[in-house]
Every structure is written in structure tokens, then in C-alpha cells.
Amino acid sequence: MKNIEVKSIHLDNNEIYTYRYYLGGEKIMVLVHGNLASSKFYEQLINDLPKEYTIYAVDLRGFGGSTYNRPIDTLRDLAGDLKLFVDKLNLKSFDLLGWSTGGAVSMLFTASYGYLVNRLFLIASAGVSGYHSYRKDENNQKILLKSKQEISFDPIKIKQLEALQKKDKVFYKNMWDKAIYNINKPSPKIYEKQLDESLRQRNLIDIYHGLNQFNISDYYSGLSMGGEEVKLITQPTTIIQGEDDLLVSVKTAKELKAAIGSNANLVLIKNCGHSPMVDAPEILLNVILKNH
């Protein structure tokens, strides 16, 4: 096992970022986690990557050990935090890997600060026009939630928020079992620690709203007109998508590949859900190393 340090750093926007750090060789990789997660979810990948990689896995604002002094308005705020982070550490050239919500943050970062990014990896990423929140009407039809207020009043989101506030580990284990770890599960010891990390989140509604409004496409999403930032992602990009993902569809991944263009490569993994780190760690590692 590698010696993975947990460190903190003060950013210039009055936030404190906690991150996991492994000092390896000259290759640098920055890892960005998803919703209801933290950098802890990357510990196995950090251990699996060759020792020539120096790795920074961040806790985004409002997640894990990082602060949430100022609520975010959009996911762009998190991409801005990441820029402050890499500037503070004087990182000038690195690979960037984002999982789920972290994929959206990583795309925004790359579109704005692409001169820093060598390769972009998007794992089960939110789509080019976001990840929308819905409610069910009396006929069981999906109705798009169009504002932060509507999201905050949604019964499902209320239950999730109450479970966070009550530190209800059973509720979240049931949710992870059904929605994310539908193929494989971490060992009981690791799973318990991951659930503890999930319960540290302080920005749930803000993140759902950010995902709802996220749109870097060239079309109207039903909520907002895309800003076409996806066209600014010119770095070699690898999209890694489980075929059995219950949250992000293969169709969404294909649309993302098409939007990024010829510099994007889509890798579909059989018998894999929303977390290739758990369902297909060897395949994930090989894809990262192959697409060097």
C-alpha cells in the first residue's frame, strides 16, 4: 500500500481544501470526485496507479474535509476552486480525471484552463447538457424540476437531505446499493468509511441545482441555452462508461463523445455500473495507462 497523505490548503477565496496526496514521479494526475463522495473514494485507484504518478485527489467545496464557507451558485464555482488549488500548488501540467459530478466540473475546468490539462478522463460523467432532477406526477410521469426551490421541495430530495442531517447511514447504504453499487460492492470496512464520507456533504441541494443547470452544449436543454464550452475541450479525452450504470446512460456517454468530437474516445465496460473504481478497477487502470 502506498503512503497516501491527507493534507489541507487555504485557497485565496477563503475556503480550505482537503486533499489526498501521493508523491510519486513526474507524471501528475488530479482526481475530482462525484456527488455524495470525496477523495476517499479514489484510494484504490491511487494505490493501483504506477509509482511514477504523483496524485492529488481533492475534496470539493462542501464535501469531505473541505470547507463550505460560501455556497456555490453553479458548478463553475467548483471549477474555479480547482484552478485556485492547482495555482496554489504551482501545478502547470497534469492529467485530469473526473467522476460523475466531478466529470462536469472537470469539463468546465478544461474548457477554461485547458492549457494546464494534458489528458482528460471522464468516468460515468454528467452529460454535455447536465444531469436533470425530476419528480413524478400522479400518472407517474417525469416532470422536470426547473429551479433550486422546486428541487428543495421535491419529496425525494427532502428525504435525502434529512438523512444527511441525521447522519442516517442505513438510508444512504440502501441508496448506494440500489443506484451505484448495483454490480459489485466495496469490502464492508471500505464501504463503511465511504458512507461516513457521504454523510459529510453540506451542499446537496446546491449540487443538484448545479447539475440541473449545467449545459456546455450548443442547444437548449429545457432549462438553459448551452454556452458551447464543450467546443473548447481539445485535449485527448477518454470517456469511461459502465453499460449497467443506473444513473448515467450509455446514450448520454455517446452524446458527450459526439459533442467533444474527434479527440474523444469512448470506452464501454460490460458488467459495470456507476463506479468503475469498484466494478472494473483493472479495466479502468488499463484504460488510463493505455490512453497516455
Q: What is the mean pLDDT of residues 166-194?
A: 97
Provide the pLDDT confidence category of residue 137 given band limits of 50, 70 and 90. confident
Q: What is the mean pLDDT of residues 90-104?
A: 98
| pLDDT on residue 189 | 97
Task: Give the pLDDT confidence of 191-218 residue by residue, as tens digits.
Answer: 999 999 999 999 999 999 999 999 999 9
Q: Which of 92, 96, 85, 94 is nearest to 27 (CA)?
A: 94
Q: Which of 98, 126, 110 is nearest to 30 (CA)?
A: 98
In this prediction, what percent of the chain has a pLDDT beyond 90? 96
Indicate whether 291 pLDDT > 80: no
Q: How far is Cα 110 from Cα 112, in angstroms, rounded to an integer?
A: 5
Q: What is the mean pLDDT of the chain?
A: 97
pTM reported for the whole predicted model:
0.97
The domain ranges of the chain are 5-290
| pLDDT on residue 1 | 85
Provide the pLDDT confidence category of residue 292 given band limits of 50, 70 and 90. low
Asked whether the beta carbons of 260 and 230 are under 8 A apart, the reply is: yes
Angle between helices 188-198 and 169-179 (to 10 degrees): 110
Task: Give the pLDDT confidence of 24-68 residue by residue, as tens digits.
Answer: 999 999 999 999 999 999 999 999 999 999 999 999 999 999 999
| pLDDT on residue 18 | 98
Indicate whether 140 pLDDT > 90: no
Indicate whether 136 pLDDT > 90: no
Backbone angles phi, psi at 54, to 5 degrees: -95, 130
Secondary structure of the chain as H, E, C letters: CCCCEEEEEECCCCCEEEEEEECCCCEEEEEECCCCCCHHHHHHHHHHCCCCEEEEEECCCCCCCCCCCCCCCCHHHHHHHHHHHHHHCCCCCEEEEEECHHHHHHHHHHHHHHHHEEEEEEECCCECCECCCEEECCCCCEEECCCHHHHHHCHHHHHHHHHHHCCCHHHHHHHHHHHCCCCCCCCHHHHHHHHHHHCCCCCHHHHHHHHHHCCCCCCECCCCECCCHHHHCCCCEEEEEECCCCCCCHHHHHHHHHHHCCCEEEEEECCCCCCHHHHCHHHHHHHHHHCC
Indicate whether 224 pLDDT > 80: yes
Indicate whether 69 pLDDT > 90: yes
| pLDDT on residue 253 | 98
Q: How far is Cα 185 from Cα 279, in angstroms, rounded to an integer?
A: 8
Domain 5-290: which CATH class?
alpha beta
Indicate whether 278 pLDDT > 80: yes
Indicate whether 102 pLDDT > 70: yes
Indicate whether 251 pLDDT > 60: yes
